[in-house]
Chains A and B, each alone.
Chain A
Amino acid sequence: MAALGPTPFALILWGTLCVVALVFCYEVYVIGRDAGWV
């Protein structure tokens, strides 16, 4: 199988970073909601 090209590689790298960042935002929201802050 051919090596992963630069575009899919960049998508995977930045995409996963974005997923982790979104999880953080979601966590902050849910913790705030549980605490009655939002």
Chain B
Amino acid sequence: MLSTTGVVALTVATLVGFTAVGIWHTHGQSQTVEDLVTARNSTGRGRLSATLIASVMGVWILFSAPEAGASFAIAAVVGYGIGEAAPMLAYSKIGPRLRAVVPNGHSLTEYAHARYGDAMYAFVLLVSMLYMFIFLAAELTGIASALALVADVPQSQSAILVGGFVLLYTGYGGLRASIFTDTLQALLVLPLLVVALAGAVITLGGAGAIHADVLATAPSLLDPGFGAGLQFGLALAFAILGAELINQTWWQRIYAGKDDETVERSFETATLANGAIVFLAALFGIVAVGQADIVTDTANAGYNADVAFFVLLEAAFPDAVVIGVVLVALLLVISSVDTLFNALSSVVTVDLPRLLADPDDRTLRLGSRALTGVVAVAAIYVSLRAQSVLRLFFFADLLGAAVAFPLVYGLYSRWLTGVGALGSSVVGLAVGLAFFPDFRGVITGIPIVGGALPASDPLYLTSFGGAFLVSTGVALLAARLSSTEHDLDDLSREVGRLAETAPDGGTTGCGARSHSVGDADADREEVSE
């Protein structure tokens, strides 16, 4: 086990470094609330790809991905990789479309409100916030568990340190600070990951020796046709695709990209990178089973597949490799926590003009920073007090799988109405819940229908796949049968920019949300005159 003091010192040094860099990068820049929330058209291809890689690669890739490999074999490894790549590929097409249809947008909830109305907006807001908050709390829980495992660092210390320092630079610099530090983190994580994992393969005697050990211990893990693995892998692909399509992180970055081509190419790069990284992390779950005593039976009190990667580290590697992995884990968690702080606060910030009476830019900036603080404190608290929040992760994935297609389809179809989108999401969710294995007592306790539900699917495929495919089918049908047409051009008129500081130090006002783009542009021209 590593020295506790040494690991805490490494953690603090890393956090101080990134906090200083994040604040330095944005210090002295005149930041409007638009900069804090979208950093519109500011980011080139290299940095956009880097932030797309760093944002999603949280410390979870050292926990959940190896757990899937260790428990569900090579097919689940492939499923996880595809699942992580698919949303990025989808966004490479959705991104330019979103920029064309809602050119002055900021968030997915804002789009949901303008396109579908209050009910779908409320549903999307709930689902998206729940998913991102659970992701955030799980990241803080994850790094706290990792540092406790390798160096016995008290869990509360790790969560408070990470959350506190990241809050400093994210609250100050907003999305620009997040994207800049993400770029550095991606440039550090990628080579560190390659060196640490290649070093691990060599230390274990090479790929041939690793293969022989796995074959001797659990040969089914190397069977690509292992049924349970195939089902779980496919379930993960549906779950991750659905959840990432309702993740505000990506919607913000679509607007941060310099132009449409930058957005398309950057998401394509992230497709390859994120798929490969998660595939590799999950593959190391299989490697762990061949090297250490990994218990994959969840009914067994000694179940440790969820920390398979760290069990492998402790069993087989020198301290230098372990320290390298600790640094990777820190970089991973910092990059996703700053992203989620900003994404969560931005969703509410964008809605403030609807809640407050004509707020100016200063009020919105203050609101954005205060909300970032609230999100940080709440996430740290939940990660420390409610470890069972992790059980909600699959439930949040299910909600995402049900709502994702109807939400996004509105960018392409003029005929899908708010009722159709909400209805198809609810029908998809009902099908998913019917087969959902968690919280079974609550689900079967639903009056009238609870007792008639089919058996749950412990591998989640019927649940996630059912929710995604049924909501997709119903949404397509609803659009086909609809007689109400929504003029998509209205979206560009309904969604305007937030208040911006005018050259004279005043603001252009916050009625921008109800202005047309032309009005907003005209306002700015009047101010400059």
Partner of A14, one of B47, B207, B272: B207
Alpha-carbon distance A3/B221, docked complex (angstroms): 8
Which of A5, A27, A29 has its CB near the most chain B CB atoms (within 10 A)? A27
A4 with B224: CB separation less than 8 A: yes
B21: A residues at CB distance < 8 A: none
Partner of B276, one of A6, A16, A35: A16
Alpha-carbon distance A33/B47, docked complex (angstroms): 11
Which of A12, A13, A19 has its CB near the most chain B CB atoms (within 10 A)? A13
B283 with A27: CB separation less than 8 A: no
A21 nearest in chain B by CB position: B194
Contact count band on B: 35 or more
A17: B residues at CB distance < 8 A: 194, 197-198, 201, 280
Alpha-carbon distance A9/B211, docked complex (angstroms): 7
A31 with B74: CB separation less than 8 A: no
Alpha-carbon distance A9/B505, docked complex (angstroms): 62
A13: B residues at CB distance < 8 A: 201, 207, 210, 283
A3 with B187: CB separation less than 8 A: no
Task: Give min CB distance, B518 to chain A, whole Å.
Answer: 32
Alpha-carbon distance A19/B45, docked complex (angstroms): 19
Alpha-carbon distance A16/B53, docked complex (angstroms): 16
Contact sample, A vs B, 17 pairs, CB 8 Å cutoff: A1-B223, A5-B211, A9-B211, A10-B208, A13-B207, A16-B279, A16-B283, A17-B194, A20-B193, A21-B191, A24-B187, A27-B46, A27-B49, A31-B50, A31-B183, A31-B187, A33-B46
Taking Cβ atoms with an 8 Å cutoff, the residues of B that contact A are 44-47, 49-50, 53, 74, 183, 186-187, 190-191, 193-194, 197-198, 201, 206-208, 210-212, 215, 219-220, 222-226, 269, 272-273, 276-277, 279-280, 283
Taking Cβ atoms with an 8 Å cutoff, the residues of A that contact B are 1-6, 9-10, 12-14, 16-17, 19-21, 23-24, 26-35
